[in-house]
Amino acid sequence: MSGCPGSKTIDFSEKTNQEGSETGKRPSQLRQWPIQMHLVSPQAPYFQGKDVLLAADCSAFALGDFHKDYLKGKSIGIACPKLDSDQEVYIEKIKSLIDNAKINTLTVMIMQVPCCFGLAQIAKEGAEKASRKIPVKQVVVGLEGNILSEEWI
């Protein structure tokens, strides 16, 4: 078992422990467009005074109840700290979201793989550069969609 944990091949298609219900339709909780961090503008009305979720690209696919438990009631920006370019732009955008859009809180959701912690670092740097201070929460999602940790940082 070697190589990058972020791109290592793992197959859990045989997973049998599937708690929860699949009945009923789940409405999307997305209330904005665009969502990619290079495309969103901190001046967008949907960010003003809101709780913002900065989610790693993979997290919404891993987490079964992403919409219901984490996106609901929040505005969102998504990014990949491993593959995206010009990530210093993200730091400036987070700073602007805090100082100019006066967002209420920032929740950064990352996968458990080490490269994903880069997104938490981006969030921290943006928050530290901002003159306003807000609560920042980090949520770490396991590869099989379980919440490994959820804490204010």
Partner 1 sequence: MENVLNKEIKEIIDACPEVGRILDEYGIGCVPCSVGSCLLKDVVGIHNLDPEQEATLMYRIEKAIYPGRNVPKPVVDKTKKSAPKKISYSPPVKKLVEEHVLIKRLLALIPTIVEYIEGSIKVDKDLILKCVDFIRTYADKYHHMKEEDILFKYVDEKAEVIQVMYKDHDTGRAHIRQVVEGAEKGNKAQIKEHLFGYRDLLTQHIKKEDEILYPWIDRQLSTTQVGEIFRKCNEADASVGDELPRKYERFIVELEEKFLQEVAK
Residues that bind partner 1 (CB under 8 A): 51, 73-74, 104-105, 107, 133-135, 137, 151-152
- Taking only Cα atoms into account, the Rg of the chain, rounded to an integer number of angstroms, comes to 16
Closer by beta carbon to partner 1, 100 or else 104: 104
Minimum distance, C-beta of residue 4 to partner 1, in the bound complex (Å): 30
**What is the residue whose two structure tokens read 């490994």?**
148
Of residues 54, 49, 29, 28, the one with CA closest to residue 137: 54
**Do 131 and 99 contact (CB within 8 A), yes or no?**
yes
CA distance 108 to 123: 7
Residues forming a β-bridge with 140: 110, 149
83: helix, strand or coil: coil
**Residue closer to partner 1 (CB basis): 60 or 113:** 60
Residue whose CB is less far from partner 1, 19 or 22:
19
Min dist. Cβ of residue 85 to partner 1 (A): 30
What are phi and psi for residue 64, nearest 5 degrees?
A: -60, -40
Closer CB to partner 1, 91 or 127, in the complex: 127
- Kindly state the smallest distance separating residue 134's Cβ from partner 1, in Å: 6
